[in-house]
């Protein structure tokens, strides 16, 4: 299996007024193509910081993040913008769709920034919205959708541009049980069908139970790294 | 770019009421600023039209000493040098108006009165200021006639009627006495008291004979083809004529006090319009600050998912520009018909103020101009303000910490 993400002694230290805080402490991990991983841990354990580092949203104090053989740790911001755009999909806790765009336009948005052709963009957006069960809501704006539906649009947006991996920051935290299961079903299916690497930061047991790999962070360091290959 | 513009446009209408209030503030400011600038420009146009065009003209060629010591000894010879210079720049000259004028004593029987005797060519004078239109009795002379046409105030004070004789006594050229008797052939009634109580007109030849100054003029008025040519033509003629003998004066040189009064008033109005612009600027700025701060999280997300800072800055800048464009365009749409109506139906000023206007040589109206420059100037000014205001969100976007913004 091909390694998509590799971290080497990844460290992030925040300088607080009292004392420096090691949010991530020498984390070395590999993520291979098609993995469904949950990063878990108590609040302040460094889950979000780790996700920000591997997503190129934040810069490490020490160590490296290598994505598809490219070290992004020292990359300039302008190059990182392009790198993220082409390689990484994001799903956020609060959906974060663009309120003035329709579901179809939201899904097309990343592809538009990638300068895809209009026809290809339209086709892929419709296809993705069908896959997340929202073919009836192509022209609805986020305000006209439920929380679960908005999160499904966010997933479609993240996956539409066929990124190398998707980072999901507590995607089910604001959803009721039915919507959460529905979303997880969709994400699991897409993970298998499109072989997309999914990395979740989560507290949600429903997500943890679905993940085939669960990494537990405590005080910024890896305390457990478990694999559950039998999970489908 | 199209998507960024679409996004900016749609963002504008996320809070319709707020956008409409901001647009309205721009609209009212534009209308008010247009009204003020239109009044300034209208007054200037009226000044040029009713005072400059009818009295001093755009330019005058005079004897070099005449402006400071206006006497018959300081008349100019309307000879080859002057005619040659005028010929050289004839493409910029519409027509010329020769005049000879001097203060004299006008009398009938035992009544006397200080009068201004002006020798004119009636046809060309009519072209300049439609002088004959003020005739209320008798008729205007021709070049070949030898009678006088006097203002109604003079006629009234000296108890002169058509057919009576007015005696004129004054100072002629180079110490000669100017004395003559002229039949009154016409009476003019001017709205401006100063003019109505002093003017006595003679045919140019008769006046030159009266002042013992044949072929001489006190001033040669020049009307240009275009107002914009005044300065350049003045310079060209000054260069062409011998400055030991001739002086070329613009209407600004000839009426400095009136122009200073205008400039003072214009400066006050401009100051007020700049206060208006500052208010508009802060109005737009307030809206933009709100629009930006309530969307910082969204900005963080957009940057996270791949939108570049420059693209986000363009969206924000377009939002500001759209508000301004809508405000300015609607301001012009509302303002133009109002200014057009006021241009066609100038506001008549009240009695007391009317007197002041008459004294200054104006019709007692508040004129409004519809010159395109006024509207273009407003549009450009508001766009510049909007652009400056629009730099705030641009700066904010470039300084935004996207992780904190996306998280909070």
Tell me, yes or no, whether B250 lies in a domain: no
Of B7, B13, B304, the CB nearest to A57: B304
Of B11, B307, B402, the CB nearest to A57: B402
Q: How far apart are CA B261 and CA B252, in angstroms?
A: 12
Which of B242, B270, B294 is at the close of a domain?
B242
Q: Which residue of B has its CA nearest to A118?
A: B3
Tell me, yes or no, whether A141 lies in a domain: yes
Using an 8 Å CB-CB cutoff, list chain A residues near B311.
Answer: 113
Residues B213 and B237 in one domain: yes
pLDDT for residue B194 is more than 80: yes
What rounded mean pLDDT belongs to chain B?
87
Task: Please judge whether B306 and A96 are an interchain contact, meaning their C-beta atoms are less than 8 angstroms apart.
Answer: no
Tell me, yes or no, whether A232 lies in a domain: no
pLDDT tier at B85 (50, 70, 90 boundaries)? very high
What is the pLDDT averaged over residues A37-57? 88
Q: How far apart are CA A97 and CA A149, in angstroms?
A: 11
Through-space distance between the first and last CA atoms of chain B, rounded to whole angstroms: 29
Of B13, B301, B307, the CB nearest to A113: B307
Domain that holds residue A88: 3-227
Tell me, yes or no, whether B396 lies in a domain: yes
Q: How far apart are CA A1 and CA A35, in angstroms?
A: 10
Question: How many residues are listed for chain B in this entry?
Answer: 408
* B244-283 confidence digits (pLDDT tens): 999 999 988 888 877 787 778 778 877 888 888 888 888 8
- Position with higher pLDDT, B351 vs B242: B242
* B163-192 confidence digits (pLDDT tens): 999 999 999 998 889 999 999 999 999 877
- Position with higher pLDDT, B187 vs B36: B187
Tell me, yes or no, whether B354 lies in a domain: yes
What torsion do the CA atoms of B253, B256, B261, B266 make, to the nearest 10 degrees? 20
Q: How far apart are CA B60 and CA A210, in angstroms?
A: 97
Report the pLDDT value the prediction gives residue B159, as an integer from 0 to 100: 93
Residues B275 and B191 in one domain: no
Report the pLDDT value the prediction gives residue A231, as an integer from 0 to 100: 62
Residues B233 and B287 in one domain: no
Residues B221 and B348 in one domain: no
pLDDT tier at B83 (50, 70, 90 boundaries)? very high
Residues B264 and B399 in one domain: yes
pLDDT tier at A17 (50, 70, 90 boundaries)? low
CB pairs under 8 A between A and B: 50
Q: Are A26 and A223 in contact (CB under 8 A)?
A: no
Q: Are B306 and A113 in contact (CB under 8 A)?
A: yes
Report the pLDDT value the prediction gives residue A163, as an integer from 0 to 100: 86
What is the pLDDT averaged over residues A136-141? 90
What is the pLDDT averaged over residues B115-127? 94
Which of B218, B242, B266 is at the close of a domain?
B242
Residues B96 and B234 in one domain: yes
B181 contact partners, CB below 8 Å, separation of at least 6: B165, B166, B167, B168
Domain count, chain B: 2
pLDDT for residue B77 is more than 80: yes
Structure tokens at B23: 């647009």
* CA A86 vs CA A75, A155, B315: distances in Å: 15, 16, 22
Is B93 strand, coil or helix?
Answer: strand
Domain count, chain A: 1
Residues B292 and B182 in one domain: no
Task: Please judge whether B406 and A92 are an interchain contact, meaning their C-beta atoms are less than 8 angstroms apart.
Answer: yes
Tell me, yes or no, whether B251 lies in a domain: no
A133 contact partners, CB below 8 Å, separation of at least 6: A152, A182, A186
Tell me, yes or no, whether B363 lies in a domain: yes
* A192-232 confidence digits (pLDDT tens): 887 888 998 888 888 888 888 999 999 889 998 888 876 65
Q: How far apart are CA B48 and CA B368, in angstroms?
A: 14
Residues B47 and B89 in one domain: no
Q: Output phi, psi for B366, to 5 deg.
A: -100, 105
Report the pLDDT value the prediction gives residue B389, as an integer from 0 to 100: 85
Tell me, yes or no, whether A109 lies in a domain: yes
Report the pLDDT value the prediction gives residue A16, as an integer from 0 to 100: 64
ipTM here = 0.78
Q: How far apart are CA B23 and CA B283, in angstroms?
A: 9
Q: Are A34 and A229 in contact (CB under 8 A)?
A: no
Residues B97 and B232 in one domain: yes
* CA B62 vs CA B67, B136, B240, B256: distances in Å: 8, 32, 14, 17
Task: Please judge whether B306 and A92 are an interchain contact, meaning their C-beta atoms are less than 8 angstroms apart.
Answer: no
Residues B20 and B97 in one domain: no
Which of B185, B215, B242 is at the close of a domain?
B242
Report the pLDDT value the prediction gives residue B359, as an integer from 0 to 100: 65
What is the pLDDT averaged over residues B135-158? 94
Domain that holds residue B132: 65-242
**Residue A7 C-alpha from the chain's centroid:** 16
Residues B271 and B166 in one domain: no
pLDDT for residue B407 is more than 70: no
Q: How far apart are CA B30 and CA B27, in angstroms?
A: 5
> Residue A31 belongs to a domain with what CATH number?
3.40.50.300
Of B14, B309, B407, the CB nearest to A100: B14
Q: Assign 3-state DSSP to chain A and report helix, strand, coil percentages, each to 5.
A: 40, 30, 35
Instruction: Look at strands A3-15 and A213-218 and give their pairing.
Output: unpaired
pLDDT tier at B302 (50, 70, 90 boundaries)? confident
Q: Output phi, psi for B162, to 5 deg.
A: -60, 130
Report the pLDDT value the prediction gives residue B182, as an integer from 0 to 100: 95
Tell me, yes or no, whether B252 lies in a domain: no
Residues B95 and B237 in one domain: yes
């Amino acid at each position: 299996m091909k390694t998509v993400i590799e971290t080497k002694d990844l460290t992030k230290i925040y300088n607080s007024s009292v004392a420096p805080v090691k949010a991530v402490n020498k984390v070395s991990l590999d993520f291979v193509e098609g993995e469904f991983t949950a990063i878990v841990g108590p609040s302040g354990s460094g889950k979000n910081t780790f996700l920000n580092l591997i997503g190129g949203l934040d810069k490490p104090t020490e160590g490296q993040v290598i994505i598809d053989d490219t070290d992004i740790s020292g990359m300039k911001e302008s190059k990182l913008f392009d790198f993220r755009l082409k390689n990484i999909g994001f799903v956020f806790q609060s959906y974060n769709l663009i309120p003035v765009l329709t579901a179809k336009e939201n899904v097309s948005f990343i592809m538009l920034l990638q300068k895809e052709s209009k026809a290809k963009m339209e086709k892929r957006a419709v296809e993705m919205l069908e896959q997340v069960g929202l073919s009836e809501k192509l022209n609805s704006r986020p305000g006209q959708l439920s929380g679960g539906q908005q999160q499904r649009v966010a997933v479609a947006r993240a996956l539409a541009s066929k990124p190398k991996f998707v980072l999901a920051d507590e995607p089910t935290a604001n959803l009721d049980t039915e919507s959460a299961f529905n979303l997880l079903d969709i994400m699991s299916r897409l993970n298998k069908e499109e072989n997309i690497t999914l990395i979740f930061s989560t507290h949600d047991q429903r997500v943890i139970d679905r993940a085939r790999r669960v990494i537990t962070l405590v005080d910024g360091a890896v305390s457990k790294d478990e694999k559950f290959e039998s999970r489908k | 770019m199209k998507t960024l513009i679409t996004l900016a446009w749609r963002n504008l209408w996320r809070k319709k009421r707020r956008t409409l209030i901001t647009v309205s503030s721009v609209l009212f400011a534009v209308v008010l600023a247009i009204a003020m600038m239109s009044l300034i420009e209208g007054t200037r146009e009226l000044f040029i039209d009713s005072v400059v065009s009818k009295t001093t003209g755009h330019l005058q060629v005079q004897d070099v000493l005449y402006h400071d010591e206006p006497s018959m000894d300081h008349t100019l010879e309307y000879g080859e040098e002057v005619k040659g210079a005028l010929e050289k720049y004839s493409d910029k000259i519409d027509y010329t108006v020769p005049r000879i004028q001097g203060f004299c004593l006008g009398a009938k029987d035992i009544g006397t009165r200080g009068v201004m005797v002006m020798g004119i060519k009636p046809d060309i004078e009519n072209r300049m200021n439609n002088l004959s239109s003020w005739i209320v009795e008798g008729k205007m002379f021709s070049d070949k006639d030898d009678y006088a046409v006097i203002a109604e105030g003079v006629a009234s004070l000296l108890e002169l009627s058509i057919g009576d004789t007015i005696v004129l006594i004054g100072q002629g050229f180079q110490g000669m006495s100017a004395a003559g008797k002229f039949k009154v052939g016409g009476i003019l009634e001017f709205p401006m008291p100063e003019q109505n109580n002093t003017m006595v007109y003679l045919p140019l030849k008769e006046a030159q004979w009266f002042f013992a100054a044949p072929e001489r003029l006190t001033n040669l008025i020049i009307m240009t083809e275009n107002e914009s040519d005044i300065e350049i033509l003045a310079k060209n003629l000054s260069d062409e004529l011998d400055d030991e003998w001739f002086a070329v004066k613009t209407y600004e040189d000839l009426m400095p006090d009136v122009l200073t009064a205008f400039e003072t008033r214009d400066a006050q109005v401009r100051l007020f319009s700049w206060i208006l612009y500052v208010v508009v600027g802060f109005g737009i700025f307030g809206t933009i600050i709100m629009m930006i701060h309530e969307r910082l999280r969204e900005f963080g997300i957009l940057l996270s998912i791949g939108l570049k800072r420059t693209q986000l800055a363009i969206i924000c800048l377009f939002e500001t520009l759209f508000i301004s464009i809508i405000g300015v365009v609607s301001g012009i749409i509302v303002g133009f018909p109002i200014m057009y109506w006021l241009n066609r139906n100038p506001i008549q000023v009240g009695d007391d103020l009317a007197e002041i206007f008459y004294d200054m040589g104006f019709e007692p109206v508040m004129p409004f101009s519809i010159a395109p420059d006024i509207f273009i100037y407003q549009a450009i000014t508001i766009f510049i303000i909007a652009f400056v205001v629009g730099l705030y969100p641009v700066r904010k976007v470039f300084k935004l910490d996207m992780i904190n913004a996306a998280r909070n």
